[in-house]
Amino acid sequence: MATTILGNTGIEVTPIGFGTWAWGDSLFWGYGKDYGEMELRQAFQAAVDRGITFLDTAEVYGLGKSEELIGKFVKETHATTQIATKYMPLPWRFRKEDVADAVTNSLKRLKMPSIDLYQVHFPAPSFLSQEGLMDALADEVEQGRIKAVGVSNYSAQQLREAHRLLARRGVPLAVNQMRYSLITREIETNGVLAAARELNVTILAYSPLAQGLLTGKYTASNPPTGARSLDKRFQTAGLQKLQPVLTKLTELGDKYSKTPAQVALNWLMCQPGVIPIPGIKTATQVEQNAGAVGWELSAEEVMELRYLG
């Protein structure tokens, strides 16, 4: 599979990655009830078999369980992977040593000597300044315990500041992980995407299928149940408004023998410097998402979807 580079780091990853928020999370996703370790192991193996080896996790996913499962599966299969995880800047983590301790704990759970990409989960207020946080992360790069630094949910101004602080230490800012999809495009108008491209910071696009809206599974006559039914986008008016987009995704899917979801993911991969990271729980989802790779929408089709979205 072709690879792409994370920012200015030289680290090669696959053009699509997979998110693992649901791995071990029983509170929100129902781990242990609707699915379990067996399904996740099969999903991991399916990803490796398809050559997709870039996985995104966080220390808070499943309260560490997600990292533990990834470490276990990598060790079992001896697979070569690129692992991204995240640090939560909680208010009581006010020392640089707290960052070092968090890296140590993630390394233990992942059973790895180093982490390919270590990201700040949110730009949360903290007694540890941004300067102190970025210095602590640069220390970890110099020690070889993390290979690259990223951020998540950072505004354009916060992104520029993180980039500046790391550059003082000779460390490039690799990524900004943001919500981004064909119908969730705030980063195109709030300056984040422009700043990322100017600074050569990769955008990791989470929720690239808008929580399933772009799969074509849900329509006004077939709305979702559960928590998503409370979201206006999933209610009748929202689904009716989305119909022209879904119709075009289906039309292009028919042309390329792809599903609407695969077309939506491919649209993101056609955006310079963007890597989608859809969440997965099953091997079937892996196979579905992997079908977005290995082909490309035309420039005209990309533009047509842009105007519809």
The CATH number, out of the four listed (3.20.20.100, 1.10.540.10, 3.40.1080.10, 3.30.1360.30), of the domain defined by the range 4-212+261-298: 3.20.20.100
How many Cβ atoms from other residues are within 10 Å of residue 142's Cβ? 12
Q: Which of 31, 61, 87, 180 is catalytic?
A: 61
Structure tokens, 188: 């195109």
Neighbours of 230 (CB within 10 A): 9
| Domain-wise residue ranges, the chain | 4-212+261-298
Strand partners, 222: 219
Residues in the chain: 309
CA dihedral 285, 287, 288, 294 (to 10 degrees): 140
Predicted pLDDT at 222: 64
Residue 104's nearest CA partner among 145, 156, 46 is: 145
145: three-class secondary structure by DSSP: coil
Q: What is the pTM of this model?
A: 0.94
Q: First vs last Cα of the chain: how many Å apart?
A: 29
Yes or no: say if 183 and 145 are a contact pair by the CB < 8 Å rule: no
Tokens matching residue 299: 């420039």
Tens digit of each residue's pLDDT, the chain (309 residues):
789 999 999 999 999 999 999 999 998 889 999 899 999 999 999 999 999 999 999 999 999 999 999 999 999 999 999 999 999 999 888 899 999 999 999 999 999 999 999 999 999 877 789 999 999 999 999 999 999 999 999 999 999 999 999 999 999 999 999 999 999 999 999 999 999 999 999 999 999 999 888 987 766 566 666 556 556 676 667 777 888 899 999 999 999 999 999 999 999 999 999 999 999 999 999 999 999 999 999 999 999 999 887
Phi, psi torsion values for 4, nearest 5 degrees: -135, 165
Active site residue 180: no
Cα dihedral 97→103→109→114 (10° resolution): -140
DSSP assignment of 153-209: S--HHHHHHHHHHHHTTT--EEEEEEE-BTTB-GGGTSSHHHHHHHHT-EEEEESTT
Rounded Cα gap, residues 272 and 278, in angstroms: 18
